[in-house]
Amino acid sequence: MSAESELNIFLENQVGVIEINRPPNNHFDHQLISQIADSFEDFDKDNNCRCIVLCSEGKHFCAGANFGKDRDMQDKTDPYSELYTQAVRLFRNKKPVIAAVQGGAIGGGLGLSLVADFRIGCSESRFSANFSRLGFHQGFGTTVTLPRVVGNQSAAMMMLTGRRLKGEEALDIGLIDYLVPQTEVRSKAIELAEEISESGPLAVQSIRATIRTGLADEVEKIVSWELSEQMRLQSTEDFKEGIKASLERRKPNFKGS
């Protein structure tokens, strides 16, 4: 791990573990997503690694981008534009990924959890495509990935309402694969990774590639549209109100302008 990295990375029992270390909320930026993508690629090249667990230190799995910081997404040199370039790399890895979601996976954090093949959660987990509650448009390829996991109707419900789902609700719609006590979320993810690792590694990669055929290309295409819509909506009064309301922890008063 480099001095600049905010990831803890290790390999044990053929399972590569990537832990995000920006507690408590584990907000991301393009540098962090790039580091995760680099780690995915490193584990892809390591024959001793057969499966990957993506987890985080702190209260939440990932609360997405930090909208408390003023950034102009219309500036193509800004991290928000680069963020999606790096995000696409996450979908091109070859080995299965399991996300251990011990708390919130909110906004872009939900998008990050959807990179994984499987998600482990608990009663304290919270999942939200909260973009509409910010007067904004979803990103991180969530337009493609969320419906693939939960179906079009449940995805539309999540995205249009921006509601937060508890662990039990997430399990009901298939957003998570196992619901366990919070203290067991990571160990269950590692247990599942070890079970996958007992299968033939070449077969696993081949089967996974077939199941996910075209996914990375779909994500690459859709993030361009997502970003253009985010740039458009960023200039609206509703977006300003959505961010302000979120920071003030109150219900937004949208005007449709």
- The reply to whether 241 falls in a domain is yes
- The reply to whether 191 falls in a domain is no
Q: What is the pLDDT of residue 130?
A: 96
pTM of the model: 0.94
Q: What is the pLDDT of residue 4?
A: 59
Q: What is the pLDDT of residue 82?
A: 87
CATH of the domain at 169: 3.90.226.10
Question: Are 53 and 189 spatial neighbours (Cβ–Cβ below 8 Å)?
Answer: yes
- The reply to whether 113 falls in a domain is yes
- The reply to whether 170 falls in a domain is yes
Q: What is the pLDDT of residue 74?
A: 47
DSSP 20-65: E--TTT----HHHHHHHHHHHHHHHH-TT--EEEEEESSS-SB--S
- The reply to whether 190 falls in a domain is no
**Which of 114, 120, 117, 116 minimizes the C-alpha distance to 101?**
120
The ranges of the chain with pLDDT < 50 are: 1-3, 70, 72-74
- The reply to whether 232 falls in a domain is yes
Residue range of the domain that includes 215: 1-182+200-257
- If one counts every other C-beta atom within 10 angstroms of the C-beta of residue 195, the result is 10
Number of domains in the chain: 1
